[in-house]
C-alpha cells in the first residue's frame, strides 16, 4: 500500500507531519510494505485558503491512502472521489504515523471532521497532529 503524508520538511521517516494538507511544504510517499519513502515538493502551498491545489503536486502518483492532521472539505471530496482513503494523524512524525496505520489505529476522516478554514472553525479533526 502506498500512502501520502503532508510534511513540514523532508527527514525521511523522521519527517514532521504537517498540520494541514493544503499548506504542507511537501508530501511523503511511503510504501507500507517496504518502508521506502520519498518526498515531493508542494508547488501550490502559497495560495489563499480554498485556492491551494495540493493535489496538483501529486498528479501521476499512485496512492492508496492519505494521512492528514487537517484537511478542507474540497480536498477531502476530491480524494474520496479518487477512491483514496483519508485518515487522521495524531502523531508527530511520518514513522509514528506509519506504525499507527500498520497497527490499524488511525481513524478514517469523516466529512464532519474536515477543517472549515485555516485555524478557524475547524471540525473535530483539528488542525494538526497531537504531540504526545
Whether 132 is in a domain gets the answer: no
User: 65 or 114: whose pLDDT is higher?
Assistant: 65
Residue 65 is part of a domain; what is its CATH number? Answer: 3.30.420.130
Whether 63 is in a domain gets the answer: yes
Whether 124 is in a domain gets the answer: no
Whether 121 is in a domain gets the answer: no
End-to-end CA distance of the chain: 26
pTM: 0.80
Q: Where in the sequence is the domain holding 50, given as residue range(s)?
A: 2-113
Whether 42 is in a domain gets the answer: yes
Distance CA 82, CA 26 (A): 20
User: 116 or 40: whose pLDDT is higher?
Assistant: 40
Q: Which of 7-16, 68-77, 115-124 is least confident?
A: 115-124
Whether 92 is in a domain gets the answer: yes
Per-residue model confidence as pLDDT tens digits over 24-64: 999 999 999 998 999 999 876 544 444 445 566 677 888 99
Amino acid at each position: 500500500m502506498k500512502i501520502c503524508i503532508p510534511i513540514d520538511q523532508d527527514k525521511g521517516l523522521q519527517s514532521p507531519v504537517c498540520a494541514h494538507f493544503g499548506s504542507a511544504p511537501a508530501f511523503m510517499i511511503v510504501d507500507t510494505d517496504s518502508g521506502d519513502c520519498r518526498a515531493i515538493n508542494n508547488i501550490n502551498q502559497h495560495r489563499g485558503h480554498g485556492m491551494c491545489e495540493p493535489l496538483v503536486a501529486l498528479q501521476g502518483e499512485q496512492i492508496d491512502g492519505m494521512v492528514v492532521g487537517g484537511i478542507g472539505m474540497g480536498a477531502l471530496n476530491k480524494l474520496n472521489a479518487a477512491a483514496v482513503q483519508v485518515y487522521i494523524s495524531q502523531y508527530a512524525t511520518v514513522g509514528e504515523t506509519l506504525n499507527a496505520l500498520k497497527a490499524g489505529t488511525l481513524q478514517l476522516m469523516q466529512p464532519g471532521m474536515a477543517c472549515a478554514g485555516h485555524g478557524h472553525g475547524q471540525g473535530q479533526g483539528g488542525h494538526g497532529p497531537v504531540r504526545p
